[in-house]
Structure 1
Amino acid sequence: MEWGRIKPNFPRIDWQTGKPVKYESPPKTANRVTYFDVPNCILSKIARRYNVSDIQRVLFAKRGKKLKVKSRKNSAFGNGTLLHSLLQLGQYQGTLTQIAEYSSFLGLCRKSILNPLIFWSWVKQHKQENIDSQQEDLQITFWEWVRQHPEIPIILCEGEKKAACLLSLGFVAIALPGIWNGRVGKQDFDERLHPDLVPMAQAGRKFIILFDYETSSKTRWSVYQATVRTAKAIEAVGCECEVALLPGPEKGVDDFVVARGEDTNAGLTAIIDDAKSLKDYQRSYRAKKWGLSKYKPDVTVNVKYLSEALCIPDLEEKCSSVPELYDIAQEQLFTPSVKGHFRKEKSTDSGGVDSDKSKKSPTFNFPKSGLVVLWSDMGTGKTELMRWWRDQNPDARFLNNGHRVNLLKNLAERLRTAMYSDLGYTGLAQAPALSITIDSLHKLNTQSLTYGCIFIDEACQYLTHLLHSNTCKQHRAAILEVLEYIVYNAPLVVIADAHMDDLTVNFFLAMRPKGEVPYIIKNEWRNGSRTIYWYEGDNESAIVAQISAALMLGEKVMVASDSKRFIKKLDKSFTIKYEESNSEKSHTQKKYRIWSGRSDK
């Protein structure tokens, strides 16, 4: 392509759309992908970044100049290699004098001086040797050099300015005229990679898509669709594709570079290195957003512990009363979404306080019945609040349901409930207070069991585990039936999470009696910042030594790892006994207290 688009300072207005035309192309000419001419200084940066050394063969010629061989003195015909080989092969016709009279191999064959079979036999033996020797003398353009090195990733960006910006920093970048111009054809019919990109699509080549940062939901959806379809077209030709995302608020990568100043190279390198695979990009786009938008809190407080804002009423009734029998006619099918949501004028708390007033009040009354949502950060006393409820209602049947065994063991100790793993089938039916995992919920006898209160901590992860975990796969239908029964019939259901969302509230509300409205308590308190250390590599000694030092100083340490083996090894190594220095307690042995958790996700 012998032309490039321009970006006018004073763009004209498109008479059809009424919008300014940012880039101008020649009239009646389709937009094309832009390959820039790259000077020596940029080539050196790219070679250093990707550790490629053979840059002396790159020819910096003007566009259109033909590629030539530097020297032909080593060619097969000029140095007599062919004649010597023919003599070795034998069975030639004519003499060396006759051969020298003709200037081409074709002439020798036409005059019947050279047997064509002998000629092609020689070609077969020396073809690869001659090709290799010629390639050493051949000068190539920058993009031909990139094509010969598929280990160098290529960044696709929107617009020439952004591609030029990336090239100036030592990244190989190609400018697309628009987010949709990396592919051609119709979706699910003949969609394929743009022909201008095909020459660079060698097997194993990695393409990185880096489009602008967008805030509009409509524009973000268009960028997402264009990115996915372009990435699939790239993968269809045997290449890899990743997606890099700008953090914002700068719109384009050129704006990002200007705003970051001296830290540009390190920041942009980190963004490119952290590019996501296509599956991860799709998953991150579809990831649910934390927080409640559909439901408004009935009470909003800002306290370190929820119990500090609790207004303790004079409880005259206990929640141990037997609820009504399960009515199949009133059964609500559980579904992630609920059509229609009507909020009552009066809240369902025990004090009957108006919801508008309760929002302004720094205290709240804990409801006696209904669906209660605790939206509060980690370590803000959600479990202690339920401990208070247990103390106020010692005779009420209590069920603590969760998805992690270690979490349940900790809650069972703090809430004074029996652990399901310590009981048989008879014990499960007789236990007045029980902690049980969602995986074993189908073991409960719903015909004879009713609970005054059901508490579910980490409700969002609980729901994900219930619907997607392989451990629930075999009994998932039975688990859902039992869960719906006990949630529907329990007078009080409390769900808690630091990252509560609308989907989780919808799910549990759909299993409650028709017309019920959730009572939401939001705590705006946020715990202080924590120091986070990131470790990479195979050497575990550094992190183990630092954890040991922190434990010796009495600090609390949380370790997250993608290796189950390492966590078990760490757990075992720190579960050691020691004796206190105090002489009175010198014979008392203690252990470090370690809580470990594991997730398959």
Structure 2
Amino acid sequence: MNHQQEWLNSCVDEQVIELNVTTLEGMSPCEHLLYSDELPRRNDGRLSNHILQRYQHTELGGWWCSGIDVMSGEDDLWGCFKPKQPRLSYDRGKPIKYEHPPQTPTGIFALRVPLHLWATIAQQHGIHFTPEMIDNTQVDGGFWQWVIAHPSIPLCITEGAKKAGALLSAGYVAIALPGINNGYRTPKDEQGKRIGKSYLIPQLKKLTSGQREIYLTFDQDSKPNTIKAVNNAIRKLGYLLSQAGSQVKVIHWQPEQGKGVDDLLFNQGKKAFDYYYEKALPLEIWKAREVTQLTYAAEVELNCRYLPSLDIPNTAKLIGVKSAIGTGKTEALAKIVREAIAHNQKVLVIGHRIKLVEQLCQRFGLPYVTDIKENYLEQPLGYGLCIDSLHENYQAKFNPEDWRDALVIIDEIEQVIWHGLNSETCTNNRVAILRCFKKLIHTNLDSNGKIFVADADLSNVSLDYLIKLSGIDIKPFIIKNYWKPSQKETWSGYHYPETTPKRFLQNLVEHIREGGKPFVCLSAQKITSKWGTQTLELYLKKQFPTANILRIDSQSLTDPNHPAYQCITKLNDILINYDIVLSSPAIETGLSIDIKGHFTSVWCLAQGV
């Protein structure tokens, strides 16, 4: 086995390989691995036969890698061995690619660094490298003690010795863990139950002191379970590093560019890693974005301005559609609803805003729940309702059993779930709502029914929640539309950093005077709100007495004498008649405004955000 070529293929400098990697065979691998006093031995001190048999495969040879013990500055006894012929694990029957010394705490790979790389690293951080910096009393010349003494130098943490070698060769200070969860310890009792708080291993604690910047550089996998495991490790390790005073960032790239950082360097070159290093996210921002990830593999991948007809296999039960706003999700679902009705299949539409569901029902050809009368000669095949009404105490007497074998559509699923769990409008009936929702999901997916969920921000959170509610081991059928508007189709945005909207209002008035037709989104409605819809309406009417101004909020939508009365279902026909539109959150995600060439700008004044 040519271990040098294997490491070269991971973009590791030749001198790094020579300093840290050795070919072993015969009894030598066991001598490097089986040194723990905790290993079972015979009375004469010889290792037990079953241990020797377990590691017999190592006699065929392989490579060994170990670095420096950063606690002492000496050669590290701990390391890893990659056998030519790996053994199979007992529990899963999979090859064990790397062997680490058993019955001894895992360490880190702090590889020996040749002088030319040390000089490069020093120069990159504004430190002039001189021969006086070399400590000949240290086996590595004192490189790692120098790093410890300079907390201003960032540290990359990755998984696997070769990846640490690749990063060092690229001019980055890097250490590697043998596994994603090996950067910390969690005290446990003999039964494996946790009995204390997790803490950083001593080596990491020493390297990360002094508010050092830490860049977590783990693999970018495409398997959902692996992604979850890696993300959990990042959260845990990142938290402990932050608690120790480090500034933690997470480096992310696309899996197709290479799984590991060594693959990225090999496939895309150093400039690619330099770019992602600069774009690394602070841990808290990464955590916020990670929540919105959709890591389930897509069965259908598209890049279409508008979604085509969706061909869903009969075996698919839970179908998730992720597609940008304005790409025709509602129309695609409308076709599916029409097909269901044509086959006499019941249809239930669930949303988080009454007006939104009413508009969906109009598009789908279904009544809203309050439009259904008991004396109908023919009851409709389905209806729509807000999740607030999804309980047996509501006038519709909702019964999940009625929707066995039905088609269930949940639009804006992310907000529907949030609304059901958190909204004040659900407070009085929340337990009943969640109980009914759980029963509905289980009943439907346990029958011949289907559940379609759609959202521009569809994430694992909502899908995992539905799967847990169902109590069924089910794989969601995912449709991903990657289309994004071109630069010509997008509007440039501007953020007002001030804490008061004075300049915002000045610019808005100036824009209107110049002939602009703005659509203004506001976070409040009442006259008592300083910058709500009613207050701004009064202000703009004084400024522009001849302008046609439409105010859309919960009050105007329910006032039969107001021009905005029940306008949600016919926005495209009404809005075009107005110069200025002021809207509260009564208009939210899911409502389509398809007017082109009328509004010249969109403004948003959000209080408390």
Q: TM-score, normalised by structure 2?
A: 0.48
The structure with the largest alpha-carbon Rg is: 1
Q: TM-score, normalised by structure 1?
A: 0.48
